[in-house]
Amino acid sequence: MAIEAMLPGVVEPSDGSLRWFRPLGCVQRRDDGVCEVYVGGVLIGAYEGPAERNVLLVKLSEEPRTRVVELAAAFDVSTEVVRRARRAYESGGITAITTVRRPGAPSKATPELRRRVWESFARGRNATATAKALHKHVSYGTVWRLHQEWRAEQASSEAPVTEVSQRSLDLDGAASEVVRDPDATPAVEGSSEAAESQSNVPSAGAGVAITQPEQVPARDACALTTALGGSDGEMTIGEAVEQGGHHVQHAGAWIAVAILHAMGVYRHAARLSESAVSPVSLRIALDAVVIALAIGERCVEGVRRLETPSASTLLRAEQAVSASWAREVLHRFADVGATSFHLAVACDLMREGFGSAGRVAFYVDNHLRRYTGKHTVRKGWKMQDRRAVPGCTDYYLHDVDGQPLMRVDVPSHDSLPRWLSPIATVCRRMLGKESRVLLSFDRGGAFAHEMSALRDQDFEFVTYERAPYPLLASTAFEHKVELTIDGKVETIQWAEGALKNLRAGRGRVRRISLRMADDRQINLLAISGLSAEELIGIQLHRWRQENAFKHGVERWGINQLDGRKVEPTPADDVIPNPARSLLDHRLRFARAEEGRARNKLARLPPDDPSRTKYEQDLERAVATQAQIEEQRPHVPRRAPVKDTSLAGKLVRHVGSYKTTIDTLRVALANAESELAARLAPSLPRPAEAKKTLANLFAAPGRVRVTPRAIYIDLAPAASPAERDALHQFLRQLDALDLTLPGDPEQRRLRFRAQHF
């Protein structure tokens, strides 16, 4: 139905100046800047300034059928303007909303400061770099608002805009950006730096590269909210408590939020999100996902569990956010900064464990995430199932304590030797050239060519030697070392004798022979300046990484698919040929049929009438085998996707969104371990420290706000002894002076455990 038929007084514009706030209500902007408001085709008012606009906003918002978010969008204001107008009208009447004055202190954005800031933007600096240069004169928030004004001015000018071509950042190149200059823009495609970094690691087809899209205009929190039906906007903690109440569900999760804020996770996200999403939307989305993970939901969909009456206080937003809104915000952020965000957090975590001797050890291993969806993805070997299953192989980097640091998704299921050198190179770039990187891995990477490559690149490593190797007499083990393995103290004998020859001119590596408690001999191969006892301790503690995989799956949901977007696998990627696999399967089946027929014939007497049937089966099986053997040489084992039956069907999941969520999981896992180490000594059962922390994160609490601090009295599910331990633990947190992200007053958090 035409607009003229519904609202006779309204002329349908062609420039999009008509905005609807309900089926028969709209706002139409005239060419002279005056906005006319129609309801049911009747002109009920017009406004040009904020006074007349506020009167119309208040009266229209009183109508039950009017939604505040749609009304604010139609009037081109935020929902916060509507809320404040209604509150002013309730407290002071019509005079309070028609008397318009500039709130707060005078703006610091003087004409001189605006000129200096805009000149900085024109020279190519972003908001972060400009704020750092002027940190004594202006805040980052003011610079960011000036940056939005400058971008709007540039977009409205008639000057030609130079388009930025898309380019792919591989893992190595992104790491070099994080280390070299966190605020610098990416190197231009074709530069010597980009070419050098891309030559050291597998190409984008390996599954780690992301494509940096062109700069997209940022949408403010209100516009994004209107489109998705999520949060109405940010609130101060005082306003949030007034709306959501002092009694807050899941208030204990603020501990996790504050720890991640102290770790710099929110700072890295804000630095990388300027062109994709507003800081307010990103902060609220990150808060919601972090809290959902902390209370045990394991995925972004767990945000729905936060829709409680106290959600406004918990998220410091006007209402709870939806899972779809959180996904949309994080998708926009992931499209421009997922890899850089992941590596920036990993770099901070690595540098915490950087030893005084310049040497740091890491564990590297793969973990297959099984896929059970409708798409056709490549299969990889899953050791627990003893067969190949659809999914994606993730290579994880853990520290010597078993804490995750970094994840690399490899949909092509490349072998461990292919990824050892690239991962070690990334670690060196993030830690500095003076660092000594030592990798510990299992037999899957103990191949001569890879070990020699690591040695030639001046990396250290320790791994198990692949059998067969010479067995030593029991008298050859002259040394002993005691290690705590899986909670048990074991005495291990060891001997270091002749070097291991890698052959083919690759040189030699150290060989350390171990005699375990059950008299088994295990050999270690290493290139390192560490003593044999230290290398033995590092390698035999690899069970910590396996425990981290198990804990990551059960507590943090690292096997969650998260991102469901897929892209076609490049047609030139070489994969196992399905036609050859089918021939091999048919050949195995034919051989089994031949075996069964021969077995039956061997047991039957010569005159048995059923021999004819089994002779026919035998003849058919032999003929089938001959036919297959004739075809096999002409069907290659591996072939490009375009030359196989999977052409146009094989896809892989886009990994940027999951990388963003996994960055939060990695940071939370490290924060949990740090907090558990502080809590365990006070608990009656120290081994249950992480479970006690989970109860603390999910605990409700009462919030009290003062000008200098936020007091949270938590009521966790705990025994009296555990509650005493939590009381001591929370006292320790007070000394950290934790704050919430997005709090302009930087109020200190003060937690207490309620006693019953």
Per the prediction, the chain carries an average pLDDT of: 84
Q: Please report, for residues 20, 599, 614, 615, 619, the alpha-carbon distance to residue 609 in angstroms, rounded to integers and kept in the order given.
A: 88, 16, 10, 11, 17
Q: Please say whether the beta carbons of 337 and 277 come within 8 A.
A: no
pLDDT confidence of residue 201: 38
| DSSP-assigned letters across all residues of 609-671 | TTHHHHHHHHHHHHHHHHHHHHHGGGS-SEEEGGGSTTTTTBEEE--HHHHHHHHHHHHHHHH
What is the token pair recorded at 262?
Answer: 């102290």
H helices present in 316-397, as ranges: 323-352
Preceding peptide of 106 cis, ω within 30°:
no
CA distance 349 to 595: 58
Instruction: Give the helix/strand (H/E) hosting 176.
Output: helix 171-180
Which of 38-42, 199-203, 580-584, 689-693 is predicted least confidently? 199-203
CA distance 616 to 374: 41
> Any idea which residue has 């061997």 for tokens?
602
CA distance 81 to 753: 38
pLDDT confidence of residue 77: 87
Work out the pLDDT band at 135, boundaries 50, 70, 90. Answer: low
Res 10 pLDDT > 60: no
Q: Which residues, 6+ apart, have CB-to-CB distance to 250 below 8 Å?
A: 291, 295, 306, 308, 314, 697, 698, 699, 700
What is the token pair recorded at 279?
Answer: 């800081």
CA distance 316 to 48: 32
> Reduced to 3 states, what is the DSSP secondary structure of residue 735?
coil
CA distance 308 to 517: 55
Res 257 pLDDT > 90: yes
pLDDT confidence of residue 219: 37
Instruction: Count, in order, helices (H) and strands (E) of the chain.
Output: 26, 25
Mean pLDDT, to the nearest integer, of 42-67? 84
Res 423 pLDDT > 90: yes
pLDDT confidence of residue 600: 93
Q: Which residues, 6+ apart, have CB-to-CB distance to 330 below 8 Å?
A: 285, 286, 289, 300, 657, 660, 661
What is the token pair recorded at 493?
Answer: 């004998």
What is the token pair recorded at 239?
Answer: 């306003």
CA distance 456 to 472: 30
Query: CA angle, 315 as apex, 182 and 743 as ends, to 5°?
Result: 55
Query: Three-state secondary structure along 45-104?
Result: EEECCHHHHHHHHHHHHCCCCCCHHHHHHHCCCCHHHHHHHHHHHHHHCHHHHHCCCCCC
Mean pLDDT, to the nearest integer, of 445-456? 95
Res 21 pLDDT > 90: no
- Residue 436, strand partner residues: 359
Res 493 pLDDT > 80: yes
pLDDT confidence of residue 3: 41
H helices present in 501-650, as ranges: 532-540, 543-551, 578-603, 611-631
Mean pLDDT, to the nearest integer, of 526-546? 93
CA distance 554 to 545: 14
Q: Please report, for residues 22, 40, 615, the alpha-carbon distance to residue 151 in angstroms, rounded to integers and kept in the order given.
A: 32, 38, 83
Which of 1-10, 389-398, 409-418, 597-606 is predicted least confidently? 1-10
What is the token pair recorded at 633?
Answer: 């040489």
pLDDT confidence of residue 559: 94
At 394-422, the pLDDT tens digits run 999 999 999 999 999 999 999 999 999 99
Which of 36-40, 562-566, 722-726 is predicted least confidently? 36-40
Q: Which of 618, 620, 561, 588 is nearest to 409 (CA)?
A: 561
Res 223 pLDDT > 80: no
CA distance 126 to 115: 15
Work out the pLDDT band at 96, boundaries 50, 70, 90. Answer: confident
What is the token pair recorded at 451?
Answer: 């070990």
Which of 110-114, 231-235, 436-440 is predicted least confidently? 231-235
CA distance 677 to 271: 31
Which of 95-109, 135-149, 396-410, 455-469 is predicted least confidently? 95-109
Q: Which CATH superfamily is domain 355-556 in?
A: Transposase Inhibitor Protein From Tn5; Chain A, domain 1 (3.90.350.10)
Q: Please report, for residues 23, 60, 68, 226, 440, the alpha-carbon distance to residue 65 in angstroms, rounded to integers and kept in the order given.
A: 10, 9, 10, 16, 64
Cα of first residue to Cα of last residue in the chain, in angstroms, is 65
Q: Which of 275, 271, 163, 270 is nearest to 219 (CA)?
A: 275
What is the token pair recorded at 530?
Answer: 């560490």
Q: Which of 367, 341, 333, 376 is nearest to 548 (CA)?
A: 367
Handedness of CA 282, 285, 289, 295 (dihedral sign): positive
Res 16 pLDDT > 90: no
Work out the pLDDT band at 113, boundaries 50, 70, 90. Answer: confident
Res 498 pLDDT > 80: yes
The DSSP 8-state label assigned to residue 380 in this structure reads E
Can you give the C-alpha Rg of the chain in angstroms? 32
CA distance 9 to 11: 7
> Reduced to 3 states, what is the DSSP secondary structure of residue 566?
strand
Q: Please say whether the beta carbons of 331 and 657 come within 8 A.
A: yes
Which of 374-383, 558-567, 671-680, 747-756 is predicted least confidently? 747-756
Please, what is the angle between helix 323-352 and helix 416-431, to 10°? 70
